[in-house]
Amino acid sequence: MSDDTEDDNPDPEDLLQSSKKESRLNSEPADATSDETGSDDPVSLKEAIVDAYAEIDEGDRAQNLTVRDEHLAALIGGLESTEQVDGLTGKALNALDRDDVSGDPAARATALRLLLRVGLSEVDPDLLDTLREANRERLAAQADSI
């Protein structure tokens, strides 16, 4: 075999090993300055969220999130075993200045959803405002189409 053929067909084991060494933190982000139409106009976060909502509504994007963290999994498992999830849900609601919760307050998904929102509001308070604006825009567009 020539060297050119070997370069064209890398060894799958080499690819696997090299992918294990790469970190998502070190990889280059996708170009967010162009949309699907090829336009070079920057896409705002709000527009991207509205588009993501449409993809969810059309079944092209999952509406759930997956996080792999053994330490958090152990913590949440311990909270469930000691029936403390609903207390954590209440604390998250207080942090968000909300009184109501959709879903069972003792459910893992409810607590995690609210805790993620608390974390986002702590890191960048404007993110949840942008999310609310995008959701309002999406709901208004849906109402107009009726």
Residue 34: pLDDT band (50, 70, 90) is: very low
Per-residue tokens: 139: 């709901």
Q: pTM, whole model, 2 decimals?
A: 0.66
Give the rounded distance of the alpha carbon of 35 from its chain centre.
Answer: 19
- As a whole number of angstroms, the distance between CA 46 and CA 126 comes to 11
Q: Residue 61, by phi and psi: left (phi above 0), alpha (psi -120 to 50) or beta?
A: beta
Mean pLDDT along residues 97-120: 87
What pLDDT is stored for residue 121 in this prediction?
A: 94
Q: Is 87 helix (H, G, I), strand (E, B) or coil?
A: helix
Per-residue tokens: 96: 């968000």
**Average pLDDT, rounded, for the chain:** 81
Q: ∠ CA 94-74-110 to the nearest 5 degrees?
A: 35
What pLDDT is stored for residue 100 in this prediction?
A: 78
Domain ranges across the chain: 44-144
pLDDT digits over 42-98, tens only? 889 999 999 999 999 999 999 999 999 999 999 999 999 999 998 999 999 999 998
| Amino acid of residue 85 | V
Radius of gyration of the chain (CA): 21
